[in-house]
A = this chain, B = another copy of it.
Amino acid sequence: MQQFTKLSDVPNPQQLLKDAIDFKQDPRSQEQLGKGKTLVMLFFNPSLRTRLSTQRAALNLGMSVISMNATQGWNLEFEDNVVMNSDKAEHIREAAAVISQYADVIGIRTFASLSDREKDYRDFVLNTFIQYASVPVISLESAIRHPLQSLTDWLTIETTKKVARPKVVLTWAPHPKSLPQAVGNSFAEWMHFADVDLTIAHPPGYALAPEFMADANVSTDQKAAFENADYIYAKNWSAYGAYGQILPVQENWTITADKMALTNDAHFMHCLPVRRNVVVADAVIDGERSLVIEQAGNRLFAAQAVLGRLLG
């Protein structure tokens, strides 16, 4: 595996899933694998869970970790043929090439602008960095995908499912801020590959990009979608069509106990952080079918699996 930014980077996703399951059983089983190797993590946007879990995952493999906030005082130029006489002090060409010499693996987090859809959907920052990097790059969430989260989600479903092909519902949920589509996109991408029956439920105007909707069942009726569901995966995202906007929504899309009662005793999942009583009611997230804490714990094993393959 040369990089980990999307599903199609993974030569054998089933093997990667199996690696993650193995690490979940024995996190220290490969503690010599990364000896003498260094993961450099660059955060163009803030991170808590991904930062901690990926760092701990690297430590579990015996790697060293250097973490850099690129949010302050490091204003990079990404465009070519520019006279750099304003506020950009370094070009991505030098930055990526130089950091590659200090790292064995580079992790990058960068969020969508939510203003320039075409640039976001080219995953401009991530892919420009990769273009000039000379070591494997792992996405710690990019403008349009969050593959470490998606591998985690798949691991969570595979290790809890009671039926061979569960019904999985990815449902939009409310949020006071305009959020990227990355988690939703990425979850859909991996669930299309996984052996699940995927439904995407969203209010009118909130369809994901066509490439991520693909051949999922689609519903704008949340309650109808919940029927017979084995997993409810809630996430807010801003509109893809009216790009980055928060559109008026008629119904209340918060995940409540009443709605969960329509399902096949479904598990509740969310990538966290979550706005309680906005995205999901306390009774659901605190209920015994909630997987959110175990799901967050699985981030460790997903990251170990990915780092292991990038090193191996």
Contact = CB atoms under 8 A, between A and B. Distances in A.
Instruction: Report how many copies the assembly holds.
Output: 3
A51 to B, nearest CB: 7
Given A276-B82, A277-B84, A98 B296 contact: yes
Interface residues of A, number: 56
A66 B41 CA distance: 13
B52 A272 contact: no
Interface stretch (A9-17, A88-96, A142-150, A211-219): A88-96
Nearest to A90: B273
A55 interface: yes
A210 interface: no
A48 interface: yes
A56 B31 contact: no
Contacts of A272: 90, 94, 98
Interface stretch (A73-81, A109-117, A164-172): A73-81
B68 A40 contact: no
Nearest to A88: B275
B274 A98 contact: no
A172 B282 CA distance: 46
A59 B39 CA distance: 12
